[in-house]
Amino acid sequence: MLKKGFFINRIPVLIIDDDPNIIKLIAESFKHDFSVHFATSGAAGLDLAISKKPDVILLDVKLPDVHGYELIRQLKNNPQTHDIPVMFVSSMCSVNEQEVGFKIGAIDYVVKPIEIPLLKMRVRTHAKIRQQALMLEQLAATDSLTNIANRRKFDEVLSHELDRARREKTSLSLLFIDVDNFKAYNDNYGHGKGDECLVAVSKLFKQTVHRPGDFLARIGGEEFAIILSDTNETGACKLCDDIKQGLQDLCLPHEYSDVAQHVTVSIGVTVVEGENHAQDAKQVCAWADSALYYVKENGRSGYSVFRHSK
């Protein structure tokens, strides 16, 4: 007997259908090639789509609590599920019904009774296309040298996190980080060593920024940014101290630096909270950049917090 949440470790597929016979038919037929999750209502299906993140959703048009057309709209409007391919599996076989299904976002429409071999082929094809799309999306959002997020991804995440902080009335801290005297490092050690330095520094940042909600990106040549969700000034400054200590322990030689014999960084910090939630991403970046500029103009190898005028 199938139990709710049943799965085999293969390509993840979510079935949303209130007919136990359909669920059993697909689950049993798919068990050697797919990881099958199922729900018998729209609400449960939406929850599973968010938690399991399947490669393909097989959705019935008629459900006990919500129409399939409405559920696909909810899936497409949710940032956590909007890119999951949805295939309608329905006994409603008119051309008009199928046309509506495609118009509202389905990538396929399968008419009952189900031909299992054809359904398998379609699911595999859509799962493969999704995986390729996710891979391309990841490549487009990743810095090729350090393998962390790039400027494009940073802009996207900062905008999203500012919206979330504003909505949930939580604080957010942004750090702009610049490797001190990096031009002198490149000029004297060579660009190959310069790349190795940036990789080493980024690895240290990754080890230091370890909370799931925090975000690290390389936003320029020797420039990095860290977004700290739900973090006030105290938490941001603690991270700055950890980074400074980490670099001191790492002790990458830099005899051409004018502040130390090892690689150091300057950090500009801004904290978004209270009335500052009204500001957009561009303004928040300007605040962090202003704090960074202050550090660089006053000796480097330290950090400064942007102070908002009262």
Q: So which residues are the catalytic ones? A: 222
The first and second tokens of residue 10, run together, are: 């293969």
Q: What does the DSSP 8-state code read for residue 108?
A: E
The first and second tokens of residue 212, run together, are: 């799931």
**Calpha distance 168→273 (Å, rounded):** 11
Q: Strand, helix or coil at 113?
A: coil
**Calpha distance 280→165 (Å, rounded):** 12
**Calpha distance 224→218 (Å, rounded):** 4
**Calpha distance 175→287 (Å, rounded):** 10
Amino acid in the structure at residue 259: V
The first and second tokens of residue 22, run together, are: 């359909």
Q: Could you tell me whether strands 108-111 and 86-90 are parallel, antiparallel, or unpaired per DSSP bridges?
A: parallel
CA dihedral sign, ordered 161, 144, 197, 260: negative
